[in-house]
Structure 1
Amino acid sequence: MDERVLDPDAARERMAAWKGRIDKLAADTQAMGARLREVQATAADPGGLAEVTVDSTGSLVGLRLTDRIHKTPPDAVARAILATLREARGQVADQSREVIAETMGPESAAGRAIADSVDQHLRAPQAPDEYGDGDFDLQTQMKKR
């Protein structure tokens, strides 16, 4: 039989070490969560039509359109916005991976799992929306609502 199991002092040391690892993991996770909530990214389309800003969840929090949209077909503007949104979401995924690696450590299994989940959420292909066919009509869309 393993004598360490019967040694109360050794058992207390192992429990203290285990608790220390758990406490560190909890603190690292809290720090990571706080830093991830602050992540934002802004991207501009190459054609100079739009600039979008997304938050840490990939949600659109800012949209700036330039005067160039007046000379551009609406479906091209929509495609530019969606492509730029995907770019910004990718930037958030990259920034999030960095935060996770810095706070959890690059070798952390929990960190890798979290990073993979964030990537899956932010880089997932967006389902075609009701405006994706290039036949967007504001009046028709307003009536649907």
Structure 2
Amino acid sequence: MDENILDPDGAREKLAAWKDRVEQVAADTRTMSDRLQEVRVTAADPSGLVEVTIDSTGALVDLTLTSRMQRTKPDVVSRTVMETLAEAKNRLADRSQEIIAETVGTESPAARAIAESVGNHLRTDPEESAAAPAPEPDEDDENRSFLEKW
């Protein structure tokens, strides 16, 4: 029989160490949550038509359209807004996963699950962007979204 089981002092030490670990995990989790809630990401398209800012949930909190919008077809403006919003969400997913790694680490299954969930919630599928309608052949470069110019 294991003599350590009957050792009250050893049991108290193990219990105190376990309690300290639990308290540290709770503190790290609170820090992660606070930092994630504060995150905001701004992205602009390379042509300077659109700038979007999103909050920690991926919700649009600011949209800036430059005067170039007046010379650009509405469908190109809307497509550029959506592409820029998708880019901002991908950046938010990256930043959120960095915060998770910095605060709770990546070793535990729970931390990995949180990081994966954040990524799945925010990231856009590249195939969705590729499904956007192609521009008309006579459309000039100025009226094309930045992703179409690639």
TM-score by length of 1: 0.82
Q: Distance in 2 between matches of 1:108 and 1:74?
A: 47
Q: Distance in 2 between matches of 1:65 and 1:99?
A: 30
Which runs of no fewer than 5 residues in structure 2 stay unpaired? 134-150
Q: Distance in 2 between matches of 1:113 and 1:4?
A: 35
Aligned: 1:102 with 2:102: yes
Q: Distance in 2 between matches of 1:124 and 1:76?
A: 19
SS at match of 2:63: strand
Q: Which residue is 2:44 aligned to?
A: 44
Q: Distance in 1 between matches of 2:108 and 2:50?
A: 38
Q: Which residue is 1:28 aligned to?
A: 28
May I ask how many residue pairs the two structures share in their alignment?
A: 130
Q: Which residue is 1:4 aligned to?
A: 4
Aligned: 1:65 with 2:60: no
Q: Percent identity?
A: 58
SS at match of 1:85: helix
Q: Which residue is 2:93 aligned to?
A: 93
Per-residue CA deviation, residues 29-60 of structure 1 (Å, 9 max, x unaligned), is: 00111111111110001222110000111110
SS at match of 1:48: coil
Deviation at 1:123, TM superposition (A): 0.6
Which runs of no fewer than 5 residues in structure 1 stay unpaired? 134-145
Q: Distance in 1 between matches of 2:3 and 2:124?
A: 52
**Amino acid of the structure 1 residue aligned with 2:6:** L
SS at match of 1:11: helix
TM-score by length of 2: 0.80
